[in-house]
A = this chain, B = another copy of it.
Amino acid sequence: MDLYSGYINNLIEELSALPGIGTKSAQRLAFYLINQPKESVERLASAMTEAKAQVRYCSECFTLTDRDKCPICANENRDHRTIMVVENSRDLAAYEKTGKYNGVYHVLHGAISPMLGIGPGDIRLKELIERLQHDVDEVIIATNSSLEGETTAMYISKLIKPSGIKVSRIASGVPVGGDLENIDEMTLLRALEGRVEL
């Protein structure tokens, strides 16, 4: 579309490369930005470049942080002998929001996926094993309940079990408030298999 200007086209193109943003949304966003005050646009642009420049991985759990150790790993009051393994920092945030978990985390930054060619060496698994050299009581695997997440969970549990450290997996089943009729068969089966006596 040469109707706009090179600058608008370029912005639309850059925006539509973002995940979940199609050409229509990119157009809408581009025009929105152009109509915003110069300062707002510059604030957004520098928020991006600064976050990219400053954010790194925590040297212990590999979550994204701007310090050497993330606030959770640096917190002496957390139980450093319990490690919850998650696929990414958003999953960590989701568990933190429950406010009920007092252990620490380990962020894999991905999951094993033979389909996508992602092997155990492509995620932060070696780093997890290294952490187990220190005193650890339990590793809770909280990877997603997807094929990749399950494969990763299985792989990690086989890797750790011989060391004698307790390995557990978060429960899978019907979500709280979930309406049975809207839940897929796999979840229903899992909920049945994982039933607990009352």
By a beta-carbon cutoff of 8 Å, the part of chain A in contact with chain B is 1-8, 10-11, 13-15, 17-20, 25, 27-34, 36, 38, 40-55, 63-67, 70-72, 88-90, 92-93, 96-97
Contacts and interface: CB of A to CB of B under 8 A. Distances in A.
Given A46-B45, A51-B10, A29 B19 contact: yes
A90 B27 contact: yes
B34 A28 contact: no
Contacts of A2: 71
B7 A44 contact: no
B54 A5 contact: yes
Given A31-B88, A90-B31, A51 B7 contact: yes
Contacts of A5: 54-55, 64-67
Given A36-B52, A92-B3, A20 B11 contact: no
Q: How many copies make up the complex? A: 2
Main SS of the interface on chain A? helix
A90 to B, nearest CB: 6
A144 to B, nearest CB: 15
Contact of A49 (B1, B30, B41, B92): B41
B18 A71 contact: no
B18 A89 contact: no
Nearest to A36: B52
Contact of A51 (B34, B40, B47, B55): B34
A15 to B, nearest CB: 7
B43 A14 contact: yes
